[in-house]
Amino acid sequence: MVQAIPGKKGTTNRASCLLVAAKKSAETYKFSAASKAKDIQIGFVEVIFKVGE
């Protein structure tokens, strides 16, 4: 993971505490590069928060 940008199109809650938590979570992920792909590879992570968790 090189960069994480929370709050993109489709975000239903823009509370800063949730955006910070989503970014922090996304930055912990590790992905394996596809050997035959371009140098820059883009992926998406969906973080779902539930009340009370």
| CA 31/CA 8 separation, integer angstroms | 20
**Which residue stretches of the chain have pLDDT < 70?**
1, 53
Q: Which residues contact 36 (CB under 8 A, 6 or more apart)?
A: none
- The pLDDT value recorded for residue 53 is 63
14-28 pLDDT per residue, tens: 888 888 988 898 889
Write the DSSP assignment of the chain as a string of letters: ------S-TT-S---HHHHHHHHHHHTT---PPPTTS-SS----------TT-
- The pLDDT value recorded for residue 4 is 85
pTM of the model: 0.65
